[in-house]
Amino acid sequence: MTEEIKKIKERMGEDLLILAHHYQSDEIVSLADSVGDSLKLAKTAEANKRAKYIVFCGVHFMAETADILTDEGQRVFLPEHDAGCPMADMADRVSAERCLERLENEFGKDSVLPVTYVNSKAEIKAFCGRLGGTVVTSGNAPRILDWALKQNKLVLFLPDQNLGRNTCVDLGVKLENMAVYNQIHDELYYDCKKEDVRCVLWGGYCHVHHFITDETFQSMRKAHPDYKIIVHPECRYEIACAADGKGSTEYIINQVKNSPSGSKFIIGTEKNLVDRLIKNNPDKDILILDTNSKCRNMNKINTENLYETLLEIEAGNFTRQISVDRLIAKDAVKALDKMLELS
Ligand code: 13P
Ligand code: SF4
């Protein structure tokens, strides 16, 4: 199938662009035209005006983002429709509106500036765009949240409480000045005076990173005291604080790549990426922080469904196309454009 895919790529030339996230398998990565973190892939999709067909090997929100950022005549495809992101699914428009109403009742009309992690549904990006807010990726979260916190509004950060908390602490916000919104029970928690709340963190999380436990971390630290531990900022606050560094997938790759031969790392993120780091850096010692760190959804993309997608595209069958509703896209693009402008 790999050989057949290569032949189709040759036949389609610049009409076809295959993008792959760093969490994809080696087979998929070897077939992609561009591999990157969410920020790099969003920028690549936006910049490419030639490809008629963009096949996104990643999860649903990434393909949606590419569809929003590309031109009308360009079609974006996801090889497996079921490849979603459970964290993105933890926030929808109805519960975001309900949260906004609650916050405005408590903190005043027009007091809220919503900012969403790119790992979110298009309708959440549109919600942010409508209210003058924006989007962050793990690669630009510090810069963009810094901007948001300076807008003299209460920042509502969706859907990943961990990225929100880790980044806001780095930007000088105290933990006691962050509220948490429980989207399931419509409950708001904070432990300071109302006027001291700086941001509200939506209660979502990524199970791949959130469930790396303190016990796992401490036992790895104890067993390998001379290793540098780097984690993704979707990890819980306690893990992010105890680690020696944190950043996006692209950041993690660069840290390892640019370190001297013989360096030792423990990496806290998705297993496909860590396995590839081990393979590509034979002169360095690399371990995974938690062997359970597997994203089932990223792994739903394989050579078989990529091959089928390409065959369908050649035959003019677009059933795997991801197409964001125009009205939603119109507001979502405002939030995404602001992100690209700020980063
Ligand atoms: P990056 O933006 O760091 O690639 O992360 C995306 C993601 O889904 C991490 O779980
Ligand atoms: Fe979503 Fe987590 Fe998978 Fe990233 S690793 S796509 S955040 S479930």
Number of other CB atoms surrounding residue 9 within 10 Å: 15
Q: How far apart are alpha carbons 300 and 340 in whole angstroms?
A: 29
141-163 mean pLDDT: 98
pLDDT at 39 over 90: no
25 DSSP assignment:
-
Kindly indicate the confidence band of residue 224, based on its pLDDT and cuts at 50, 70 and 90.
very high
Determine whether the shortest distance from the Cβ of 59 to ligand 2 is under 6 A: yes
What is the pLDDT, as a whole number, of residue 300? 98
Phi, psi of 90 (to 5 degrees): -80, 0
What is the pLDDT, as a whole number, of residue 221? 98
115-138 mean pLDDT: 98
- Tell me the pLDDT tens digit for each residue of 241-259: 999 999 999 999 999 999 9
Residue 232 Cα: closest atom of ligand 1: 3
What is the pLDDT, as a whole number, of residue 343? 85
87-94 mean pLDDT: 98
pLDDT at 32 over 90: yes
- Residue whose C-alpha is closest to residue 199's, from 131, 103, 310, 296: 103
- Residue whose C-alpha is closest to residue 112's, from 167, 157, 162: 157
How many helices and strands in the chain, by DSSP H and E?
A: 15, 14
282-297 mean pLDDT: 97
Q: Which residue has the CA at smallest separation from atom 3 of ligand 2? A: 295
pLDDT at 326 over 90: yes
164-183 mean pLDDT: 98
pLDDT at 9 over 90: yes
Number of other CB atoms surrounding residue 249 within 10 Å: 22
Determine whether the shortest distance from the Cβ of 206 to ligand 1 is under 6 A: yes
- Tell me the pLDDT tens digit for each residue of 227-245: 999 999 999 999 999 999 9
Strand partners for 266: 229, 287
Task: Please state which CATH number belongs to domain 2-84+298-323.
Answer: 3.40.50.10800
- Tell me the pLDDT tens digit for each residue of 189-219: 999 999 999 999 999 999 999 999 999 999 9
Residue 208 Cα: closest atom of ligand 1: 10
Residue carrying the six token digits 């370190």: 259
In the sheet where 154-158 sits, what is the strand order?
134-136, 112-117, 154-158, 199-202, 178-182, 187-189
Domain-wise residue ranges, the chain: 2-84+298-323, 88-207, 212-288
The two domains 2-84+298-323 and 88-207 share their CATH topology (first three levels equal): yes
Task: Please state which CATH number belongs to domain 212-288.
Answer: 3.40.50.10800
Determine whether the shortest distance from the Cβ of 84 to ligand 2 is under 6 A: no
Q: How far apart are alpha carbons 164 and 158 in whole angstroms?
A: 8
Residue 22 Cα: closest atom of ligand 1: 4
User: 314 C-alpha vs ligand 1 centroid, how far in Å?
Assistant: 30
At the fourth CATH level, which superfamily is domain 88-207? NadA-like (3.40.50.10800)
What is the pLDDT, as a whole number, of residue 14? 96
How far, in Å, are 71, 110, 147 from residue 132 at the CA level? 23, 10, 12
Q: Which ligand is nearest to the CA of 87?
A: 2
- The residue ranges of DSSP E strands in the chain, in sequence order, are 16-21, 34-36, 53-57, 75-77, 112-117, 134-136, 154-158, 178-182, 187-189, 199-202, 228-231, 245-246, 264-268, 285-288
- Residue whose C-alpha is closest to residue 212's, from 190, 237, 189, 192: 237
User: 289 C-alpha vs ligand 1 centroid, how far in Å?
Assistant: 17
Strand partners for 201: 157, 180
